[in-house]
Amino acid sequence: MNLAIWLTLAVYLVIMIGIGVYCRKLSSGVSEFVLGNRGIGAWFTAFAYGTSYFSAVIFVGYAGKFGWSYGVASTWIGMGNAVIGSLMPWLILGKRTRIMTKHLDSKTMPDYFEKRYFSHTLKTAAAVIIFLFLIPYTASVYNGLSRLFEKGFGIPYKYCIIGMAVFTAIYVIIGGYKATAMNDFVQGVFMLVGIVAVVLAVLDQHGGLTSSINAMGEIPTDSGETGLFNSILGPDPINLLGVVILTSLGTWGLPQMVQKFYAIKDDRAVKIGTIVSTVFAVIVAGGCYFLGGFGRLFVEKDAAGSPVGGFDAIVPAMMETLPDILFGIVIVLVLSASMSTLSSLVLTSSSTLTLDLVKPIMKEKMDEKKQVLIMRIFIAVFLTVSVVLAIFTLDNPQTIISTLMSISWGALAGAFLAPFMYGLFWKGVTKAAVWASFICGVGITVVHMCLYTLKIGDLDLPMTIGKLSLASPINAGAFAMLLGLVVVPLVSLITPKPDKEKVEKVFECYQKQEVKE
């Protein structure tokens, strides 16, 4: 690598730290540190949403694995992310989330569950779920970035992880949410420019778009069929749908995603942010999966039909052929995506632990200065734990990037999506229904992980039903999310109704908004 690339990285990291220092005085209180005092504009929020959504997990892990499995049809995952994962939640959840969470003065998702459903135990349970299941997602973010750094710079994997954690910790601990949002905007610009440049450069190596698509069509599937890896729906549309659901619908229930709506400034910002976020997703997610769809042109398969070096090595292998300057762009692109996602994860986890677990059990009242201090300490703790997990998973073949992310998204969105969304619209959701959703989301994920990923008990389990893979943590996560959407209304209809007067006070915020408008 030439000196110019090292200098680019150095300047990039200095900018990140500089923004953190600049925002330090703006993040002294709890609301400022966690939500930017609910005054973040449309562009910053939209980029924060997009960069938290798409990280090295997408670019390296998912793009490589699903591009290999589905060919060019994997682009549908990116389009699903743009429409279902970005456009629809902004349209359906954005405005109502901002209004209700401000009315309830809730700063975190567990806090929302407590004040919306009048249950402190729900708050505690949600906080524990968030802490436990954000850790594997964080490990997957480290994993994706570190593989590219190791490939391009020869830096050992564990040192890449440690370095990334340290830089992220510095600017998040110093500047809080406002620094994260400003950094996300800068990082988002890098991602937009980088993905376009890389896609064009990679396709050019096989004669351009048309020649590359034709070449994909000549590659046979495991059954010997040709013409499927360049087809519209690919060789396995059923399992492709499961990926679309997990990676798109999941954003509706992930705490680090929906909390972006807590912090947005006003309704006008929501409208502008809807457009910006969707366009960002089309370019970044669509570009990543489209790029990954050509992985078979760059990586050979082994005797078992899997890519040589594993799924996580596909995109790094594609990048090896790029000129130094373009590889440098890729490094900055993936670094941008990963650090933005990581900062969102650690801020969400630390604020949840502090405000929803520690503060309620403290005998003495915690002032705002002490709360912010404890959040900063938890950021460091959370990063340390996830670094250890990421290093531990290096040599474990069961912990590829897509598996770690699927476990995290399946549990979190499976537990939270339905009660969070229904709670914004329907007065009849009961506390029992929320518990049922928590149990289903976490239970399905944990049981599936034990049976199929960790293989505890070594049972002789069926792996497929037709073409549907039962062993896939992605399909398990997608099922958990969809099940919650059915379980919550059913349980709500047969369990004791919530206090009508209390619920009316929760929903009066929408009436006030209508009068104001």
DSSP secondary structure, 10-58, as one string = HHHHHHHHHHHHHTGGG--SHHHHHHGGG-B-HHHHHHHHHHHH-SHII
Alpha-carbon Rg for the chain in angstroms = 22
Q: Indicate whether 309 pLDDT > 80.
A: no
Distance CA 96, CA 451 (A): 39
Quick one: tokens of 94? 């954005």
Q: pLDDT tens for residues 411-460?
A: 999 999 999 999 999 999 999 999 999 999 999 999 888 887 767 766 66
Report the CATH number at residue 93: 1.20.1730.10
Note whether residue 40 is domain-resident: no
Q: What's the pLDDT score for residue 402?
A: 58
pLDDT one-digit tens code per residue, 241-292: 988 988 899 899 999 889 899 888 888 999 999 999 999 999 999 998 999 8
The model carries a pTM of 0.87
Residues 20-48: b if buried by 16+ CB within 10 A, e if exposed: beebbebbeebbbbbbbbbebbbbbbbbb
Q: Is residue 184 part of a domain?
A: yes
pLDDT (0 to 100) of residue 500: 92
Confidence of residue 376 (pLDDT cuts 50, 70, 90): confident
In a domain, 32, yes or no: no
Q: What pLDDT is stored for residue 26 in this prediction?
A: 66
Domain that holds residue 391: 46-395
Does 52 fall in a domain?
Answer: yes
H or E stretch covering 465: strand 464-465
CA distance 185 to 287: 19
For the chain, percent of residues with pLDDT exceeding 90? 31
Distances (CA, A) of 292 to 62, 150, 209, 280, 389: 8, 19, 14, 18, 26
Contact between residue 410 and residue 132 where contact means Cβ atoms under 8 Å apart: no
Categorize the per-residue pLDDT at 153 as very low, low, confident or very high, splitting at 50, 70 and 90. Answer: low
User: Between these two residues, 503 and 243, which has the higher pLDDT value?
Assistant: 503
For the chain, the domain total comes to 1
Sign, CA dihedral 370-372-505-438, equals negative
Residue 300 lies in a domain: yes
Distance separating alpha carbons of residues 13 and 517, to the nearest angstrom: 43
pLDDT for position 515: 47
pLDDT, one tens digit per residue, over 182-223 is 878 887 887 888 888 888 888 888 888 889 999 999 998 888
CA dihedral 207, 210, 215, 217 (to 10 degrees): 170
- C-alpha to C-alpha distance for 461 and 497, rounded to whole angstroms: 40
Q: Residue type at 2?
A: N
- The whole-number average pLDDT for the span 123-135 is 88
Closest by CA to 83, choosing from 242, 254, 275, 338, is 275
If you average pLDDT over residues 388-398, what whole number do you get?
A: 64
Between the two ends of the chain, the Cα-to-Cα distance in Å is 57
Contact yes or no for 265/39 (Cβ under 8 A): yes
Give a yes or no: residue 33 inside a domain. no
Q: At residue 39, what is the residue type?
A: G
pLDDT for the residue 397: 46
- Helices 42-53, 255-263: crossing angle, 10 deg rounding: 180
- Mean of the per-residue pLDDT values of the chain: 83
461 in a structural domain: no
For residues 142-151, average pLDDT:
64
CA 335 to CA 55: how far, in whole Å? 8
Q: d(Cα 452, Cα 461) in Å, to the nearest integer?
A: 8
Is residue 476 situated within a structural domain? no
